[in-house]
A and B are shown apart, each in its own frame.
Chain A
Amino acid sequence: MASRSHVDVNERRLRPIYDCLDNGNNRKAIQEADKVLKKQKDFQCAKVLRALALLRLGRQDESAVLLQEVHTQNPTDDATLQAMSICYREVHKLEAIAELYENAHKARLDNEEILSALFMAHVRLSNYKKQQQTAMALHKLRPQKNPYYFWAVMSNIMQAHSSPDPKLAKTMYLPLAERMTKKYVDEGKIDAEAEVLLYLMVLELQEKWQEAIDLLQGPLGERVVSELNMRSTKLAELHCKLQNWSKANAIFRKLLKENPDHWQFWLSYLDTSFRLIDSGYTPPTEKGEGDGDEGEGEDKVEDKVDSSLEEVMEFINERIKGCQETTPLRGPYLAQMELVRIMRERKSELLKLAGPPSELFQQYYDLFGTKPCCATDLKAYVCLLTPEELQTLLDKFEESSKLTTDNGTPVFADDVKHICKHITILQLSRLAEVYGKRTTEDLLQVSGDLVLRYRKGLDFGKDLLQTDIQPSDPYLLLAAHLLVDLWQRTGQERYLWQVVVQLELGIRRSPANHQFKLLLMRLYAEMGAFGPCPALWNGMDMKHIMNDSLGYFISNHVGRLGHFVAACAMFGTMLRFFSVNHKETTEYLLASYKYGSFGKIREFVDFRDKLQRSFQYKSASTERLLLDLILETNCHASTEQMLSYIEVDPSKERAILSEVSDNRDFTAMDCWDPPSQFRIADYKTESFNEEKAWLHSRDLILRILVAAVMSGQDKEREGKDDASHNGESLTNGSTDESGKGNMAGVVRDLLPRFIQHMESCAKEFSDPKKYPVQGPYRTRITTYLQGNHHQLLVRLVQCFLKVHHLHENGLKNPENKDGEILDSPITDLLEGLTEGSKRTLVKEEDGHACINVSLLEHLIMSAESLSFATTLMGVCSHLLRPLKTSWSKQSRKKKGQNAPQPAVFDKFTALVAELQETAKSLHQVATQFDPVFMALDLSALSLTETLTNTEEESQCEKAVWSKVERSFQQSSHEVCELLHNKLQYLHTCRV
């Protein structure tokens, strides 16, 4: 090693480069590095910093050369290693970091920093075995430092967690982790809470419940202090595992005394009590006094157990009494209802002891009716009452609220609490299915009444900030839900348009109300107008993980409704979130090891995995790639160019459907539909199935198209295979041999899979799925199937395969079937594309004008299918052209013979011409979809049901229609442009 002074000189020389890099002045950093390198041409660190600056300037190739050069010299000084790690991290070459430190470690065996960096490098790669070995090496180097030892223990646990063979986890990794920890316990070397928690984790993973209890009850258990109540809660859970119901019950009982509002404690307390009742538990006699129904002596007994219904009721009542003096807590009151629910389920004879549920409801309403969550709380217990009981109760509430409308003049609430109580009644009424039986006129009248109450209630929120929501907002939301009901009941869209107008007015007053905005987005999309959605979306400050959990609000509609530019941008944002986070979440695994929060490590790994396998991710990336493939391409060469950017390997599955993770959140929108009707869990499962089926179709389409285009490049590619490395291959470490070779073979392989998949979809999704507006949205799969788009694709892919066959085998192939490029013509299918589109934007139904919403989706899908078809025609023409040239040459040589041109050329030309005709017709339809072009004034068509007919309302309605017009116009323009491109494209396809 160099002397100290030498190091200082180096540091001083590097300083300007670091400064430039920190300031983002990468060009200057390169100049500074060059200066240093002029003096010292082998200065490794200067080279690496130069590489980093190059990288940040986007000059990856130059940077990589430089890095490679230093890498092979096995650098060992900290500054160089750190700078190289940064470079590799930025290009996500995590393996190179491990290799780098591995080499450095070999050269400097006793360097703790290098070894610890090597450990972290393995953590980044999730290489648990190497992690474990490195941690042990660190432990040997610094035996007095506990963390290293426990890094090794944790690495063992991760080996168990990731082991494909559960037996290995049970018999090897976990016992090893346990032995290692136990050794430290026995030797009295444990000194941190984290280490105790790690031991607890090892024991729990092995289901050694008793040992875990002993640990927590022993002296080491006293170290578990950070998380509140963790020790008692854990102990109680462990007792449950061992079916020590009495011990668990006693702990939950004690916890509830301190936290009488803790719902999970109540559930566990009730559960353990009933287990005791079922097992005929009798308390040990020596503790005698604890058992009776008298509660007075109870407090003296630390471990009081409640093993009879009387005791449970007594306990609940005491908790109620306990909190009555201060502020009433919801917990004990709801525990009463939960108790009734359990007893009812068990058909207990003692049910009457608990009192009639309607009284419990009354009591709850009296106490908590002014809280916005009252109805939500009672939702789960509505089932305890008969519809008649519920109705009687609601009538009573309503009467006591004194807000009923007498002979047409509504009585309005006097203050905010009054409004809240009324809203609770209305929400409960909706939960009780009160509105289902009312007539259409009735419901219209009720929603009008609610809108009036909403407006009147705004008086109480005049002084609120823009960031607050109005106390009367829920009135408007309930009115909106009623009008949505009406739409669903009658199919008449004018009710929905009215909701849109009302909600638009609502967000003017309550710009903070995301319930309004989410519903609005959904309704605009429902009506075919995506245009207003991005502003609403951005207005809610949607970002980061919301791209995943709420991204469906965008991705179900943006492409479907032909807003391609917005689609590219929005999918782009989503994809950036996913790719950035994969890198960043990994860094926090490192932090968990550093801080000893071992409990979070598996959680982080699983979370990263969930993001990586996210359905939203896979779907957004597939849709984005399909858009890339068709949007900007207007000839075969531009498609080939596009392929070189998008880097799709069609021979590989892009998503393993069985492993895709559904991270969508459907709890963001308020809904008061009766639980029996709004089965969100079922909807989520059903819709996920549908989404996966659709994703699979889209993925197959993408791969077929890409493979087809690549097959045209096969010949040119031979011999330049090595030029095809990308980021992907780094993680795999090897290049794929089946790769570029036989792309036509890949198409041949994928086509039957596509056919088969679409057949199975046809069985399941021939009718469009209907979900409530607060639930998921259907996919486009039914539209796709009904329009026979899959058949069109299949026939054209078959056509491609024949052309490819001719290309490979020449025109004089043994079968000489050159004329049969299409077994069955596609004219009928193409007619289907345009036929369905030959409708007008505005139609008349039941005497009302309404917008032909399904028309747009049909049009977009046809344009998309035509684009896919065009892509295939491009390859075909690319493959046919050399055939034609060589045929022309040959026929010219054999002058005079005048051989007829092979049928394939004419047939292909006819096919292209047919597609051109279709594109023109679609273009025509798309133009008619532009309301401005058609001089349509939507606002003049009275498409909206009027509700209260105020000046503000009619102005807002005008504004809504102008937004909708602009949205349709946008869709029309974008489809026209797409079709225009495709017409150009097809023009280049003539052979």
Chain B
Amino acid sequence: MTTIRAFTCDDLFKFNNVNLDPLTETYGLPFYMQYLAHWPEYFQVAESPSGEIMGYIMGKAEGQNENWHGHVTALSVANNYRRLGLAGSLMHNLEEISENKHCFFVDLFVRVSNQVAVTMYEKLGYSVYRRVLEYYSGDVDEDAFDMRKALSRDKEKKSVVPLPHPVRPEDLD
């Protein structure tokens, strides 16, 4: 029992329970507003019956030609609402939206250490396309997996053929 609906500015006041998770970054307002202004349909929130925010997904569509794809910028679910398949539903919606936009694939970045997330994405049909070196900055920089899932438009699944070598963040297209 989850209401998935469009994220609105007012949700920013109450998403603390989700964002206090250490792997969920709280960005400055311009970051959220940029997404709300540009890709409002890609920013969705899951709400519990009591009005609590259970989690949210933030994404966009970008790229040229065969690189036209949906991208998951942030996906986070509050501790109390994990293991309900919520992340899966939110991802599924994002894929649907990307299908509607005739994207070729959906991609996302995840910390290589975040095994739980990597396994979950694999279950949802994502595979590691390439490794991005020192993508996450912190006390110790951490690599990211760039994971992808082909959509129906990419019939031969060309977009998900893994790259043999890791890339540096500045070489990302």
Contacts and interface: CB of A to CB of B under 8 A. Distances in A.
B7 to A, nearest CB: 10
Contacts of B26: 541, 543-546
In the complex, the 4 A-B pairs of residues with the closest C-beta atoms, listed nearest first: A607-B9, A588-B33, A514-B20, A591-B37
B9 A604 contact: yes
Contacts of A597: 36-38, 40
A227 B36 CA distance: 12
Nearest to A473: B79
B4 A373 contact: no
Interface stretch (A327-335, A342-350, A925-933, A968-976): A327-335
Given A588-B30, A604-B9, A667 B17 contact: yes
Contact of B3 (A262, A466, A467, A469): A262
Interface residues of B, number: 54
A340 B158 CA distance: 52
15 contacts: A226-B101, A228-B93, A265-B3, A372-B82, A379-B50, A380-B49, A511-B22, A514-B21, A544-B26, A545-B13, A588-B37, A591-B37, A595-B38, A610-B10, A665-B16
Given A261-B1, A512-B21, A544-B29, A665 B37 contact: no
Contacts of A607: 9-10, 12
A604 B29 CA distance: 11
Nearest to B37: A591
B86 to A, nearest CB: 9
A745 to B, nearest CB: 41
A226 B37 contact: no
Contacts of B80: 372-373, 376, 670
B76 to A, nearest CB: 12
Contacts of B28: 544, 581, 584
Contact of B34 (A226, A262, A377, A591): A591
Contacts of A667: 14, 16-17, 51-53
A373 B27 CA distance: 27
Contact of A588 (B4, B12, B34, B101): B34
Contact of B33 (A265, A550, A591): A591
B9 A599 contact: no
Contact of A512 (B22, B50, B113): B22
A225 interface: yes
Which of A372, A518, A594, A663 is the most central at the interface, judged by chain B CB atoms within 10 Å of its CB?
A372
A592 interface: yes
Contacts of B23: 467
A665 B59 CA distance: 25
Interface in B157-171: none
B40 A600 contact: yes
A266 interface: yes
Contacts of A373: 48, 80-81, 84
A469 B20 CA distance: 12
Nearest to B92: A228
Interface in A449-483: 465-469
A535 interface: no
A263 B97 contact: no
Given A226-B100, A545-B13, A665-B14, A263 B85 contact: no
A373 B1 CA distance: 11
Interface centre among B2, B23, B34, B116 (most CB of A within 10 A): B2
B8 interface: yes
A585 interface: yes
Given A228-B97, A543-B26, A597-B40, A334 B9 contact: no
Nearest to B94: A228
A987 to B, nearest CB: 47
Given A371-B84, A376-B50, A548 B9 contact: no
A603 interface: yes
A467 B93 contact: no
A604 B40 contact: no
A541 B22 contact: yes
A637 interface: no
A371 B13 contact: no
B77 to A, nearest CB: 11
B62 interface: no
Interface of A: 225-228, 259, 261-266, 327, 329-331, 334-335, 370-373, 376-377, 379-380, 465-469, 511-512, 514, 518, 540-541, 543-546, 548-550, 581, 584-585, 587-588, 591-592, 594-595, 597, 599-600, 603-604, 606-607, 610, 663, 665, 667-668, 670
Contacts of B10: 607, 610
A549 B13 contact: yes
Contacts of B154: none
Contacts of A588: 30, 33-34, 36-37
Contacts of B17: 667-668
B6 interface: yes
Given A228-B97, A667-B14, A545 B29 contact: yes
Given A376-B48, A544-B26, A603 B84 contact: no
Given A334-B1, A591-B38, A603-B8, A585 B96 contact: no
A668 B27 contact: no
Contacts of A670: 80
A725 to B, nearest CB: 29
Given A335-B1, A465-B113, A610-B10, 5 more contacts: A379-B50, A545-B26, A546-B19, A591-B37, A594-B37
Nearest to A539: B22
B134 interface: no
A123 B166 CA distance: 45
A544 B4 CA distance: 25
Nearest to A464: B116
Contacts of A466: 22
B5 interface: yes
A591 B32 CA distance: 12
Nearest to B81: A373
B92 to A, nearest CB: 10
Given A372-B79, A512-B22, A380 B5 contact: no
Contacts of B13: 545, 548-549, 663, 665
A540 B49 contact: no
Given A228-B97, A263-B1, A667-B52, A600 B41 contact: no
B155 interface: no
B123 interface: no
B50 to A, nearest CB: 7
B16 A227 contact: no
Give the most central of B4, B97, B100: most A CB within 10 Å.
Answer: B4
A213 to B, nearest CB: 21
B30 A587 contact: yes
Contacts of B84: 330, 371, 373
Interface in B40-57: 40-41, 47-53
A380 B30 contact: no
Nearest to B54: A373
B20 to A, nearest CB: 4
A606 B27 CA distance: 20
A712 B7 CA distance: 53
Contacts of A549: 12-14, 16
A585 B29 contact: yes
Contacts of A585: 29-30, 33
Contact of A262 (B2, B22, B52, B79): B2
Contacts of A469: 79
Contacts of A545: 12-13, 26, 29
A604 B34 CA distance: 11
A595 B22 contact: no
A329 B86 CA distance: 11
A544 B27 contact: yes
Contacts of A514: 20-21
A380 to B, nearest CB: 7
A581 B93 contact: no
A227 B93 CA distance: 9
B6 A227 contact: yes
Contacts of B20: 514, 518, 540-541, 668
B29 A227 contact: no
